[in-house]
Amino acid sequence: MLICLSANHKNSSFDVLEKLSVGADAAAGGMLTGHDALSGAVVVATCNRFEAYLDLDEPFGVSPLPAVYAAIDAVSASTGVSADLLRDTLDLVHGNGVAEHLFAVTSGLESVVVGEGEIAGQVRRSLEEARAAGTTSPELERLFQRASQTSRGVKNRTGIGAAGRSLVRLALELAESRVTDWAHTRVLLVGTGRYAGASLAALRDLGVTDVRVYSPSGRAAKFAAAHDIGAVATDAEALAAETALADLILTCTTVEHHVIDAGILTAGRALVAAQHAAEVPALVAGSDAGRSCPVGAEPDAARQLVIDLGLPRNVDPDVSDVPGVELLDLETIRIHAPLEQLNATSEARKLVGRAAKKFSAVAEEQSLAPAVVALRSHIFDILDGEIERARKRGDTSEQTESALRHLAGVLLHTPMVRSRELARAGDQEAFLGGLDALFGIEVALPDSAVPPVELPGSTDVADAAS
């Protein structure tokens, strides 16, 4: 049985999501060791979402709650978020509802910016990380692979991909009212990962040409050379001076500490002010061309915009106390996210729903596989016995054997069709009862979906079984 525990921008505060993201890497392994019946775990952690997808190996009728509680305890241990808070925060989806939920998430239908494209790659990388850690399972593999296929179908067949905007571009759109001329805006980009590349592309689309990059991990020079921009030295003084010269600071790293704070901004302004006063060359390569404050003016009189796309936060909220500085972080961006594109979203959800039903139908059909195998084995054993008796009577004709095998196939056709129909209808017991009554074949099926359950303490529990 599949289970999903979800904390997202709809049911959790930014502070909780930030804490969950810090310990996300260790959560999957802890969940598997915390409960013997959990055979697989994949964790999806983004700036607006923490989700654990679990494969529970339990027989029909057994409650999943012990496994859920064990998983919550493991998440609590790896992230520092209390188990009580997690029980109050997490949504629980299980059974057939898990596929539809993940397919909607991967297609961007549950994102802050509906239709944004980054989430599909993040989901795919989550599966790759689970493979590397050895925490996935065959059913989770099938689930995540089908999710990626569904997201591509939604993107190709609806307008939601074109209508959706990434967090990077939405943040820059919100910055439009604060920027006079993008072509004369000096930008300090903090980070060198995928988001940094997307941010740089979005900035260039707006006409920005003056960009410096700083990397807490020391990868700025390589990133700068690949993208033809300037690199900032890794020492604290160089970073501080560069923050004072930038009109816009955009951060998007995965480090677990603040890269920019009020102290760095204040120290940088003091350095640049001293340079101006002494009329000496700037400490940092490059001119002040395009700076919003004229040469000779006090640097702290300038307006500066700081955009923090990092999770955990890359920027200490105390930067807002520095004169002229405005902070735009993920929480602010979420408040200003646009309304859904109704037509595109409606069509996309129809596609997601159909894909989820197909996924569940295949899973239901597979649930009767042991019974189907038992029936086929029973029929073919009878067939082989009849062929052998015919040979002993001297009938070695290939036509006789072929006719008997054809007859067996004809007899099996209707039971095979009915097995699929009954499985999709959730009536596996009817097929099992027929096998027992007609042929004396008794088959005990493995795992099956259990009735809907609620997570005690949860304020918004998804009723997953359909």
Kindly name the residue from 4, 47, 252, 293 that is annotated as catalytic. Answer: 47
Confirm whether 47 is a catalytic residue.
yes
CB atoms closer than 10 angstroms to residue 138? 10
CB of 24 within 8 A of CB of 45?
A: yes
- Around Cβ 301, how many Cβ atoms within 10 Å? 12
Helices (H) and strands (E) in the chain, counts: 18, 10
Beta bridge partners of 188: 212, 249
Query: DSSP 3-state assignment of 36?
Result: coil
Strand ranges in 143-195 using DSSP code E only, listed in sequence order: 186-190
**Cα–Cα distance between 72 and 230 in angstroms, integer?**
45
Rounded CA-CA distance 63/4 in Å is 15
What phi, psi does 456 have (nearest 5°)?
-55, 130
Q: Between vectors from CA 199 to CA 203 and to CA 185, what angle results, nearest 5°?
A: 35
The DSSP annotation for 256-319 comes to SS-SB-HHHHHHHHHHHHHHHHHT---SSSS--TT-SS-TTS-GGGS-EEEEE--SS-SB-GGG
Token pair for residue 174? 């919100």
154 alpha carbon, distance to own chain's centre: 16
Q: Hey, is 46 helix, strand or coil?
A: strand
- Left if phi > 0, otherwise alpha if psi is -120 to 50, otherwise beta: which for 286? left
Scan for tokens 């689930």, then name that residue: 143
> End-to-end alpha-carbon separation of the chain, Å?
13
- Helix (H) or strand (E) holding 251, with range, is strand 248-251
* DSSP assigned state of 414: H
Residues labelled as active-site residues: 47
